[in-house]
Amino acid sequence: MGAAADGTHGDGGGAMVARLRERARARRGAIGFPDAQDTRVLRVAAQLVAEGSAARVRLYGERAALVALARTVGVDLAGLGAALEVRETDGAQRLAAAAEDLQRGELDAVLAGNLATTADVVRAAISGVGLAPGVKTVSGSFLMCRGEAAGRAAQTLLFADCGVVIAPSLRQLVDIGVESVRTWRALVPEAPPVVAYLSYSTKGSAHHETQERMAEAARLFATAMPDVASDGELQFDAAFDAAIGQRKAPGSAAAGRANCFVFPNLDAGNIAYKIAQRLGGFAALGPILQGLGKPYSDLSRGSTEEDILASAYANLLRAAP
């Protein structure tokens, strides 16, 4: 079992996904799938309703075509009764129509991107849902999960931005940190967020404008969220490993115990999550689009049904209670 939203499954997403499912069941929200002309989504829609983790599922497209497609994989959409809604839309309008329904409060979350590109999903979300109050940046985080193993406790970490902002400005780096904390609190309420702004340097061990930028972003973040433990700039080992953190950044509020990692740019964030996934055995749940007024999120086009289910739970939980 894994929660890898784009490919290889790690060994450890299962327990985290089970927790998300249980919490989604307690909420029983309504979720929309604009990219519904896809057997993966049709099976997921049926499962969400059957297991009670969504009270309603809204699909976009032609009802007859969706019913026929579902039948090819043994899903009886009519059997879902009133829990299934179909909004008749043509393909070009589906992303915008779902944003409209979310904005009107008819849905708690929308999940697209199993067919549409990230850029199209992000644009539809920004224009249809808008940004969260006080935020100017939409970014994409991944919840990275790895199970318990010999000599190692289970781990849940958040990486951002791995999916949207190619070359973030200082202001955008602060927004990415603030929104990552919000995502963390919605999905991992059992642990306080600890934020690290990452670099190739720890606390001035190297001097260059790129390292100084992350140090400045960390300072601005600490001013914006003084109640959250944070630090930067930190190298990943100093941020993650207690002994190295103690050696390289003694007295730091985040070194050695960070769980939310802000990367300097999209190259770094995207490469890092894939390395953790492919070499580190982490399951990667996401990309979770953060910074929007309501949860309108993205999927990789390579998502499996398990990935889509995990993202559905996560996004239902990000809706305002």
Ligand X SMILES: CC(C)(COP(=O)(O)OP(=O)(O)OC[C@H]1O[C@@H](n2cnc3c(N)ncnc32)[C@H](O)[C@@H]1OP(=O)(O)O)[C@@H](O)C(=O)NCCC(=O)NCCS
Q: Which stretch binds ligand X (CB under 6 A): 12-20, 82-90, 119-127, 208-216?
A: 119-127
Residues in the chain: 321
The 187-226 site mask, x for binding ligand X (CB under 6 A), equals ----------------------------------------
Q: Rule CB under 6 A: say whether 115 interacts with ligand X.
A: no
Q: Which stretch binds ligand X (CB under 6 A): 56-64, 87-95, 158-166, 192-200?
A: 158-166
Out of 165, 238, 249, 299, point to the residue binding ligand X (CB under 6 A): 165
Q: Rule CB under 6 A: say whether 170 interacts with ligand X.
A: no
Out of 30, 45, 80, 138, point to the residue binding ligand X (CB under 6 A): 138
Residue 291 — left, alpha, or beta (φ > 0 → left; ψ -120 to 50 → alpha)?
left
Min separation Cβ 273 and ligand X, Å: 9
The 238-277 site mask, x for binding ligand X (CB under 6 A), equals --------------------------------x-------
What are the C-alpha distances in Å from 176 to residues 69, 81, 159, 273?
A: 39, 40, 10, 16
Q: Which is nearer to ligand X, 298 or 306 (by Cβ)?
A: 298
Q: Rule CB under 6 A: say whether 82 interacts with ligand X.
A: no
Min separation Cβ 126 and ligand X, Å: 5
| Three-state secondary structure call for residue 180 | helix
Out of 126, 220, 224, 225, point to the residue binding ligand X (CB under 6 A): 126
Is the Cβ–Cβ distance between 60 and 137 less than 8 Å?
no
Structure tokens at 162: 């791995």
Round to whole Å and give the CA distance between 140 and 221: 18
Is the Cβ–Cβ distance between 48 and 310 less than 8 Å?
no
Q: Which of 232, 249, 295, 239 is nearest to 272 (CA)?
A: 239
Structure tokens at 141: 């985080």
Residue 215 — left, alpha, or beta (φ > 0 → left; ψ -120 to 50 → alpha)?
alpha
Residue 237: in which H helix or E strand, if any? helix 236-240
Min separation Cβ 127 and ligand X, Å: 7
Rule CB under 6 A: which residues touch ligand X?
118-119, 122-123, 126, 137-138, 163-166, 270
